[in-house]
Protein backbone atom coordinates (compact mmCIF):
# COMPACT_ATOMS: atom_id res chain seq x y z
CA UNK A 1 0.00 0.00 0.00
CA UNK A 2 1.32 3.45 -0.88
CA UNK A 3 1.96 5.89 1.96
CA UNK A 4 -0.84 8.15 0.69
CA UNK A 5 -3.24 5.22 0.71
CA UNK A 6 -2.12 4.25 4.23
CA UNK A 7 -2.70 7.82 5.31
CA UNK A 8 -6.21 7.93 3.89
CA UNK A 9 -7.15 4.64 5.61
CA UNK A 10 -5.58 5.83 8.86
CA UNK A 11 -7.41 9.13 8.70
CA UNK A 12 -10.75 7.46 8.05
CA UNK A 13 -10.36 4.88 10.82
CA UNK A 14 -8.96 7.37 13.32
CA UNK A 15 -12.03 9.46 12.55
CA UNK A 16 -14.23 6.46 13.37
CA UNK A 17 -12.39 6.25 16.70
CA UNK A 18 -12.97 10.01 17.26
CA UNK A 19 -9.33 11.07 17.06
CA UNK A 20 -8.40 14.40 15.40
CA UNK A 21 -5.89 13.97 12.62
CA UNK A 22 -3.66 16.71 11.17
CA UNK A 23 -0.89 16.49 8.62
CA UNK A 24 2.00 18.95 8.31
CA UNK A 25 5.11 19.18 6.12
CA UNK A 26 7.87 19.83 8.64
CA UNK A 27 8.72 19.36 12.30
CA UNK A 28 8.70 23.12 12.73
CA UNK A 29 5.17 23.27 11.38
CA UNK A 30 4.19 20.57 13.87
CA UNK A 31 5.54 22.83 16.65
CA UNK A 32 3.43 25.74 15.40
CA UNK A 33 0.36 23.53 15.19
CA UNK A 34 0.89 22.30 18.75
CA UNK A 35 0.95 25.91 19.96
CA UNK A 36 -2.21 26.71 17.95
CA UNK A 37 -4.01 23.72 19.40
CA UNK A 38 -2.97 24.56 22.96
CA UNK A 39 -4.20 28.13 22.44
CA UNK A 40 -7.49 26.91 21.02
CA UNK A 41 -7.98 24.60 24.00
CA UNK A 42 -7.38 27.58 26.30
CA UNK A 43 -4.97 25.36 28.18
CA UNK A 44 -2.96 26.83 31.05
CA UNK A 45 -0.55 24.02 31.81
CA UNK A 46 1.11 21.63 29.41
CA UNK A 47 3.35 18.69 30.14
CA UNK A 48 6.01 17.53 27.72
CA UNK A 49 7.88 14.29 27.50
CA UNK A 50 11.13 15.36 25.94
CA UNK A 51 12.63 13.23 23.19
CA UNK A 52 14.99 14.31 20.40
CA UNK A 53 12.12 13.99 17.90
CA UNK A 54 9.76 16.16 19.93
CA UNK A 55 12.47 18.76 20.44
CA UNK A 56 12.77 19.01 16.64
CA UNK A 57 9.35 20.63 16.62
CA UNK A 58 10.74 23.43 18.75
CA UNK A 59 7.38 23.40 20.52
CA UNK A 60 8.92 24.51 23.80
CA UNK A 61 9.70 27.89 22.23
CA UNK A 62 6.45 28.25 20.33
CA UNK A 63 4.46 27.25 23.42
CA UNK A 64 6.41 29.68 25.61
CA UNK A 65 5.14 32.50 23.40
CA UNK A 66 1.56 31.56 24.27
CA UNK A 67 2.21 32.16 27.97
CA UNK A 68 1.28 28.62 28.97
CA UNK A 69 3.05 26.92 31.90
CA UNK A 70 5.34 24.20 30.59
CA UNK A 71 6.62 21.31 32.65
CA UNK A 72 8.52 18.12 32.01
CA UNK A 73 8.82 17.01 35.60
CA UNK A 74 8.07 13.47 36.70
CA UNK A 75 5.48 14.32 39.33
CA UNK A 76 2.15 12.55 39.32
CA UNK A 77 0.38 15.33 41.20
CA UNK A 78 1.56 17.94 38.74
CA UNK A 79 0.65 15.64 35.85
CA UNK A 80 -2.79 15.19 37.36
CA UNK A 81 -3.64 18.88 37.00
CA UNK A 82 -2.05 19.53 33.61
CA UNK A 83 -4.36 20.36 30.70
CA UNK A 84 -2.40 18.92 27.78
CA UNK A 85 0.18 16.13 27.48
CA UNK A 86 2.49 16.26 24.47
CA UNK A 87 4.56 13.32 23.23
CA UNK A 88 6.33 11.91 20.24
CA UNK A 89 4.80 8.59 19.17
CA UNK A 90 6.88 6.55 16.71
CA UNK A 91 4.15 4.61 14.83
CA UNK A 92 0.57 4.68 13.62
CA UNK A 93 -1.62 1.81 12.40
CA UNK A 94 -3.88 2.30 9.39
CA UNK A 95 -6.38 -0.56 9.81
CA UNK A 96 -7.48 0.61 13.26
CA UNK A 97 -6.68 4.33 13.16
CA UNK A 98 -4.40 3.85 16.17
CA UNK A 99 -1.15 5.39 17.26
CA UNK A 100 1.29 2.82 18.58
CA UNK A 101 3.29 3.88 21.58
CA UNK A 102 6.08 1.65 22.87
CA UNK A 103 7.30 3.50 25.96
CA UNK A 104 8.80 2.30 29.20
CA UNK A 105 9.69 5.67 30.69
CA UNK A 106 7.15 6.45 33.45
CA UNK A 107 6.88 10.09 32.41
CA UNK A 108 6.49 9.19 28.73
CA UNK A 109 3.62 6.92 29.69
CA UNK A 110 1.96 9.21 32.22
CA UNK A 111 1.91 12.17 29.82
CA UNK A 112 -0.35 10.18 27.48
CA UNK A 113 -2.72 9.10 30.25
CA UNK A 114 -3.43 11.72 32.87
CA UNK A 115 -4.37 14.98 31.14
CA UNK A 116 -7.69 15.73 29.40
CA UNK A 117 -5.93 16.20 26.04
CA UNK A 118 -3.11 14.22 24.49
CA UNK A 119 -1.25 15.61 21.47
CA UNK A 120 0.89 13.05 19.65
CA UNK A 121 3.41 13.85 16.93
CA UNK A 122 3.93 10.91 14.59
CA UNK A 123 6.19 10.52 11.53
CA UNK A 124 4.13 10.21 8.35
CA UNK A 125 6.31 7.44 6.94
CA UNK A 126 5.65 5.27 10.00
CA UNK A 127 2.00 4.57 9.32
CA UNK A 128 1.97 0.77 9.25
CA UNK A 129 -0.83 -1.22 7.62
CA UNK A 130 -1.90 -3.50 10.48
CA UNK A 131 -1.57 -4.28 14.18
CA UNK A 132 0.36 -7.41 13.22
CA UNK A 133 2.82 -5.29 11.19
CA UNK A 134 3.25 -2.92 14.12
CA UNK A 135 4.09 -5.76 16.51
CA UNK A 136 6.60 -7.18 14.05
CA UNK A 137 8.19 -3.82 13.28
CA UNK A 138 8.60 -2.74 16.89
CA UNK A 139 10.54 -5.86 17.78
CA UNK A 140 12.84 -5.33 14.79
CA UNK A 141 13.36 -1.63 15.52
CA UNK A 142 13.91 -2.01 19.26
CA UNK A 143 15.79 -5.30 19.12
CA UNK A 144 13.50 -6.70 21.84
CA UNK A 145 9.92 -6.38 22.98
CA UNK A 146 9.56 -3.00 24.73
CA UNK A 147 8.38 -3.34 28.33
CA UNK A 148 5.24 -1.28 27.88
CA UNK A 149 3.40 -0.75 24.59
CA UNK A 150 0.00 0.71 23.83
CA UNK A 151 -2.19 0.95 20.81
CA UNK A 152 -4.10 4.17 21.45
CA UNK A 153 -7.20 4.71 19.35
CA UNK A 154 -9.11 7.89 19.97
CA UNK A 155 -10.00 9.22 23.40
CA UNK A 156 -10.82 7.28 26.54
CA UNK A 157 -14.46 6.20 26.46
CA UNK A 158 -17.12 4.25 28.30
CA UNK A 159 -20.63 3.03 27.64
CA UNK A 160 -21.04 1.39 31.02
CA UNK A 161 -24.11 3.41 32.06
CA UNK A 162 -27.12 2.53 29.92
CA UNK A 163 -24.86 1.89 26.91
CA UNK A 164 -24.57 5.65 26.37
CA UNK A 165 -21.19 6.47 24.85
CA UNK A 166 -19.34 8.98 27.02
CA UNK A 167 -15.91 10.31 26.16
CA UNK A 168 -13.10 10.85 28.69
CA UNK A 169 -13.31 8.54 31.68
CA UNK A 170 -9.88 7.85 33.13
CA UNK A 171 -7.79 8.90 30.18
CA UNK A 172 -7.84 11.89 27.80
CA UNK A 173 -11.13 13.06 26.33
CA UNK A 174 -9.29 14.36 23.29
CA UNK A 175 -6.59 12.76 21.15
CA UNK A 176 -4.91 14.98 18.58
CA UNK A 177 -2.57 13.26 16.13
CA UNK A 178 -0.15 15.35 14.08
CA UNK A 179 1.54 13.48 11.24
CA UNK A 180 4.80 14.97 9.97
CA UNK A 181 5.90 14.41 6.36
CA UNK A 182 9.53 15.32 6.99
CA UNK A 183 11.68 12.29 7.90
CA UNK A 184 12.92 11.68 11.43
Partner 1 sequence: MSNEQHNQDFKASIQKALNDQVMRGALSRFADAYPTARKNAYEGVDIEALRSEIACAKGKNGENLDQLIQLFTENATKRGAKVYFAKTAEDANRYIANLAIEKKVKKIVKSKSMASEEIHLNDHLKKAGLIVNETDLGEWIIQLAGQKPSHMVMPAIHLSKEQVAGYFSKELKSDIPPDIPLMVQKARVELRTKFLEADMGISGANFAVAETGTIATVTNEGNARLTTTLPRVHVALVGIEKVINDFKEAANIIKALPKSATGQLITSYVTMVTGVTPTEVDGQVQDKELHIVLMDNGRSDMLKDPKFKQAWQCIRCASCLNVCPAYQMVGGHVYGHIYAGGIGAILTFFFNDPTDAEKPQNLCLGCGRCTEVCPGKIPIPDLILEMRRRMAQKKGIGLIPKAIFDLVANRKLMHSLLRVASIGQFPLTGGKPFIRHLPFFFSELTKERSLPAVAPKPFRDIAKEREKKNTGKKKRVNFYAGCLIDFVYPHIGTAVYDVLEHAGCEVYFPWEQACCGAPAKYMGDTDSQTRLAKQNVAAMEEGNPDYIVSACPTCTVAMMEDVVEVLKEDPAWHERAKKVAAKVRDFSALAEELGVKAPGKKKSLKGKFTYHDSCHYRRHLHLSDVPRKLLTEVAGMELVEMKDSDQCCGMAGSYLVKFPEISAPILQKKLDNIAATGSELVCVDCPGCVMQIAGGLDKRHSSVKIRHTAEILAEALRKG
> What's the rounded Cα separation, in Å, for the pair 184 and 122?
10
Which residues face 127 on adjacent strands?
92
Nearer to partner 1, 28 or 167 (CB): 167
Q: Which of 155, 176, 178, 179 binds partner 1 (CB under 8 A)?
A: 155
Q: Which of 52, 143, 162, 183 binds partner 1 (CB under 8 A)?
A: 162
Q: Is 131 in the site for partner 1 (CB under 8 A)?
A: yes
> What's the rounded Cα separation, in Å, for the pair 139 and 182?
24
Q: Is 168 in the site for partner 1 (CB under 8 A)?
A: yes
CA-closest candidate to residue 157, choices 11, 17, 38: 17
String marking each residue 65-104 x if it binds partner 1 according to CB under 8 A:
---------xxxx--x---------------xxx-----x
Which residues face 48 on adjacent strands?
86
CA-closest candidate to residue 120, choices 178, 42, 43, 51: 178
Pairing between strand 98-102 and 91-93?
antiparallel
Segment interacting with partner 1, rule: CB under 8 A, options 43-51, 55-63, 121-129, 169-177: 169-177
The footprint of partner 1 (CB under 8 A) covers 13, 16-17, 74-77, 80, 96-98, 104-107, 109-110, 113-114, 130-132, 135-136, 139, 145-164, 166, 168-172
Amino acid sequence: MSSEKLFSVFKEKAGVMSAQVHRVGTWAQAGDLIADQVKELKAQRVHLFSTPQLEKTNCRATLAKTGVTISDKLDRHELDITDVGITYVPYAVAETGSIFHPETDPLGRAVTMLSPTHIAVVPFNKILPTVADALETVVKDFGAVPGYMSFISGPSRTADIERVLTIGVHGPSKLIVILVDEGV
